[in-house]
Structure 1
């Protein structure tokens, strides 16, 4: 594959309710966008329909597209909904229940009805074969090939589409897994085979096994989906390559995405953080990125223009805010707090008579009641329509007119169940879902030792600008930024993603046991592997020196932390290298725990390489100048803070830089509406962003 020359790019972001498409032409400094309902039965069909419509509106020929960058929540939804492939696990004899036992930790100590995260494969398809390698590489029991063949045959006979292989200590000594994977693939062509060491070479079998199982679980679906999407785009005449956004905010090519689709689980949510970092990060050192779509809301911290990246997360949590209630997935990912609070989140009366909103969503099928597609339950979008925040004739650029009567009927039913007025129910929905997001933000920031008041809130997604003002008030945030085309900003953010490869390997020794030459060789091997991935994407000449990270801990500790090390070249003297790593570890420990580490030896757990290519800057169109019409010619009654008010209506494309006004106000554009309450003032910045400043 050859990396495309700068040209017209197409960004596609599939969410639970909407599919967003953005077309960007850097030469002419122009962009076009489209928001359509996601076609869950066949997501590719929605992409193709939206692409044809967007190209037609922009007068762009398919052959002019030089690259397509795609992010999706399809794979993580398959995990959450348990709709992936029937998967088998082949593991070391005596360890078939390792994924069921987990860490034997109760994430809710006093919950007698607690449900632990269940493995992705049924009990009957967790199979064992005799083999055993010790942690020092000694082969205790050779791999029993006859038993391996029998286990694979049993899995295929049961209808398995995928097999995950998890052998003990394969992170250090993968020979048995490699042998097993080759043999199964040769014996059963077409069967998806995932060896755990090929996805994540980290210690701890439970975490490595969950990650490998998740990869196997979504791999057949991902392979079919990406192959078909690429073929359909090519048939349409789009010659540019299909590229995928990773959970860490980087970008990769189709071959790597098909090999390890687990890396894409959080690609959709990561897009919002990318957009916030790019569109506002240069001017704002500390950002809380808030992206609210039709199904979920995502919050992430962006400091100095970079979203925070961590090396693991939990998928499909049983209890959304509680660590340990989900499947541990050991991939690098943007550090996100995600909650079930979107435009389609359903409101209902709970068992004790209180208003509850989400996490279940009406999605796009049937969608909120106001979509007029058969939905009967009141949702957040229905509430926002009845509160006066949304113009029913301009929703989603006028492509999806809203049915006010259907929303009123749904809200009346909910209000009757709660014993309150429909107006109170609508404001209650808006306030409850905003408080849920504020609670998530407080938790997310407190766990990182940060205070919300020091951040600027950057709102993207269709719902972000609608809820951003009231969310900021709850958090004590004084500044809110809303970029142009906020409703599809995530899809635009995809186009800023740099090529990126992360690789990890287990070290598993004390620092003083490592020679400088050995440690250099370990990192060099990871770097060579990472550069090979970039080369296959056509980015071989595009990557600077890699970032070197070591997971380290004090001897006796169970948990480790990532420590960024100075760039190469490193000292060749053992003592000098040990001193360099000790200094880096001490600084990282001090920053994290606000105290120096104890005077004990240091364990090196993992070596990590982060290799990033150059990000492609976007030549965004200049902020438009001139009015579409008089700003105060239109007003609409809204409910803000529980009080009725008349809000001035502004059309965002007509607001020129330097314009400012006080709320209550609504600023409308094709993909979203910015709500400003009576205690806020907004102004249009030179780059086209709108800054909302809240009174103390």
Structure 2
């Protein structure tokens, strides 16, 4: 019996819909423009069209998985709910005090990132725990009712509760929540002990407030999404991609929508890792470029890098401290404002710049003919010949070369350049911006990019990978099947995952191991509980222990993987202690080269990852063998090596057999993207369906 799974990824420009036919090993996909006024409508339209086109019986759809950037955009654009903050007496201004550090020392007019909660909507209550969990003063129900009532009168419909030391002892926060839900049943409530039970007051406040800020929006959207999909006959339920690269039940996402912030990019990284292992390429730079942004992630040993915090909505894209610190587990990636819709403009010095402003899908690039007049990356790629105006997004929408040329021509008049010069300048600037970000991202992790393969996905990744790779010194490019909808595909090959953390300060050399084991056991129980609703489709569960540790006296922590438990009864205590210390010291030496002598190790925050792979794996259909394929057409395409347009063969990817080899220049098109192979590239198609481009040694 044929069964299907559907993946849906909403981006700033396009909504991608992918369906997997498990019986035939077949993938089908569709791109539609994102409907920003009602994103759920665009999803419903795209799913309906895909099901109708490919005769997908909704009763045979066993899984629907979704990722979205809607909530990230709500933070950036400040379109969340009116949010209040309830905190311990004396801690009302933690959000504004922050770290008391300037993110730009030399900017005399610097402004801090604005808080999500203005001071008039931040309130304090009595009641306090100490750091050891002992109650100093109990909260008062009458005071809580009066304080929250005043916030509600000012329009607050979502409330963040962040009480002192709740990361260690959440009893007061839970008591306050019970009182609020009794007295104000329509109010959304977020507890710091549920969202970010870790030390550092500013980060804990910021994460809790951000979750509260988007929670009503997330609830409304996810409810609407479920309703629209059920109306199409899809009753399997919806799973959501989390920022950590794993899936969770939609109910979990509604409780803590902050975990969805990087869901789309995370799905792209998971897809990249999946495709790379098909050809035994475990170490790669995953380069994903869509309509609004470009992302890059380091993948080693087939696993995307993970981090336990990032900054959202930065005022300056690369300036640490200029955004909102968010303490969640997330795929570690770097993002720049360079996508197909990124607008080219002149800066104050008269120089050509690209992004971060984007035309998005409304009105979109000039070539869309939907009202956009500014020149964009897509307009440049169309004029350069990289895009086929008759087969854009699989032929689902028409785009105009003339409109693109007009927009570029207006920019050229200001820059004293012809249309081709402006178009190439835009393409080259995007490549340099991405390459510069890649160099920094890789260097910060102590790696050399020349030892990696560049895997390109998204609608724009295959268009730009040829020149990006040369700029960063990479010699091999990998372009997977259906690269243009790789994030949506990644949703359907991702595991279920639950991350749980808690601050528990332990010195493994001297403190009681039973306390450490009890804390880890509780976190493991929480991870299993979160994954239990998905047991029919995902399993078995694998649990991994980590900890953020430091040498005593240090101010910042390093996260390392710890040995598997249990730590009591399995081995002698001295063996366990030595293994815990050795695990941290090994990670510290890898990061910093050496360890300080005679300083005890402290484990500060304990973390558990529960992961369960899909029980039904997707096995792609085998490509037919062969070596020959004829181009479907030819067109004039600009290449810098030739300093002009070359008559270039254009291949339909669907017609290429395993074993196909060809020397550039050439283009390879499919419904979601176009792979550009310049004169210095030689392309081969493997049996896996991956296209491999080998570049000559001399950099462009």
**Shorter chain as normaliser: what TM range?**
over 0.9
User: Does the 8 Å CA contact 1:515/1:574 hold for their aligned counterparts?
Assistant: no
1:649 shift after superposition: 1.1
The change in CA–CA distance for 1:541 and 1:335 in structure 2 (over 3 A counts) is closer
Question: 1:682: which partner in 2?
Answer: 683
Normalising by the residue count of structure 2, what TM-score does the alignment of the two structures yield?
A: 0.96
Question: 2:671: which partner in 1?
Answer: 670
- For structure 2, the 5+ residue unaligned runs are none
User: Does the 8 Å CA contact 1:291/1:463 hold for their aligned counterparts?
Assistant: yes
1:185 shift after superposition: 1.3
The change in CA–CA distance for 1:6 and 1:532 in structure 2 (over 3 A counts) is farther
Find the partner of 2:502 among 487, 495, 505.
505
- Mapping of residues 375-390 of structure 1, within 5 Å: 375-390=372-387
Question: 2:623: which partner in 1?
Answer: 623
User: Does the 8 Å CA contact 1:551/1:606 hold for their aligned counterparts?
Assistant: yes
Q: The residue matched to 2:408 in structure 1 has which SS?
A: helix
In structure 2, C-alpha distance between the alignment counterparts of 1:534 and 1:594, rounded to whole Å: 38
Cα displacement string for residues 634-676 of structure 1 (whole angstroms, at most 9, x for unaligned residues): 2433243544322221111111111111111111111110001
In structure 2, C-alpha distance between the alignment counterparts of 1:321 and 1:443, rounded to whole Å: 10
Question: 1:334: which partner in 2?
Answer: 331
In structure 2, C-alpha distance between the alignment counterparts of 1:289 and 1:559, rounded to whole Å: 29
User: Does the 8 Å CA contact 1:70/1:244 hold for their aligned counterparts?
Assistant: yes
In structure 1, C-alpha distance between the alignment counterparts of 2:15 and 2:611, rounded to whole Å: 28
Question: 1:614: which partner in 2?
Answer: 613
- Mapping of residues 29-428 of structure 1, within 5 Å: 29-282=25-278, 283-428=280-425
In structure 2, C-alpha distance between the alignment counterparts of 1:509 and 1:515, rounded to whole Å: 8
Q: The residue matched to 2:493 in structure 1 has which SS?
A: coil
In structure 1, C-alpha distance between the alignment counterparts of 2:115 and 2:140, rounded to whole Å: 25
The change in CA–CA distance for 1:569 and 1:545 in structure 2 (over 3 A counts) is farther
CA RMSD, Structure 1 to Structure 2 (Å)? 1.7
1:122 shift after superposition: 1.4
User: Does the 8 Å CA contact 1:586/1:597 hold for their aligned counterparts?
Assistant: no
1:101 shift after superposition: 0.7
User: Does the 8 Å CA contact 1:501/1:611 hold for their aligned counterparts?
Assistant: yes
Which stretch shows the higher mean deviation, 666-675 or 577-586? 577-586
Q: The residue matched to 1:96 in structure 2 has which SS?
A: coil
User: Does the 8 Å CA contact 1:625/1:655 hold for their aligned counterparts?
Assistant: no
1:571 shift after superposition: 4.7
- Mapping of residues 629-648 of structure 1, within 5 Å: 630-631=630-631, 634-641=634-641, 642-648=643-649
Instruction: Tell me the matched-pair count.
Output: 692
In structure 1, C-alpha distance between the alignment counterparts of 2:508 and 2:566, rounded to whole Å: 18
1:303 shift after superposition: 1.0
Q: The residue matched to 1:290 in structure 2 has which SS?
A: strand
In structure 1, C-alpha distance between the alignment counterparts of 2:516 and 2:537, rounded to whole Å: 24
- For structure 1, the 5+ residue unaligned runs are none
The change in CA–CA distance for 1:239 and 1:27 in structure 2 (over 3 A counts) is same
Q: The residue matched to 2:339 in structure 1 has which SS?
A: coil
Q: The residue matched to 1:650 in structure 2 has which SS?
A: strand
Asked if residue 24 in structure 1 is aligned to residue 24 in structure 2, the reply is no
Asked if residue 581 in structure 1 is aligned to residue 580 in structure 2, the reply is yes
In structure 2, C-alpha distance between the alignment counterparts of 1:657 and 1:82, rounded to whole Å: 49
1:514 shift after superposition: 2.4
1:575 shift after superposition: 3.0
Cα displacement string for residues 607-652 of structure 1 (whole angstroms, at most 9, x for unaligned residues): 1110001245321122256899732752433243544322221111
In structure 2, C-alpha distance between the alignment counterparts of 1:627 and 1:494, rounded to whole Å: 32
In structure 2, C-alpha distance between the alignment counterparts of 1:624 and 1:151, rounded to whole Å: 70
1:133 shift after superposition: 1.4
Normalising by the residue count of structure 1, what TM-score does the alignment of the two structures yield?
A: 0.97
In structure 2, C-alpha distance between the alignment counterparts of 1:627 and 1:364, rounded to whole Å: 39
Question: 1:13: which partner in 2?
Answer: 9
Cα displacement string for residues 48-78 of structure 1 (whole angstroms, at most 9, x for unaligned residues): 1111110011111222111100000001110
Q: The residue matched to 1:281 in structure 2 has which SS?
A: helix
Cα displacement string for residues 84-106 of structure 1 (whole angstroms, at most 9, x for unaligned residues): 11100000111111011101111
In structure 2, C-alpha distance between the alignment counterparts of 1:540 and 1:453, rounded to whole Å: 39
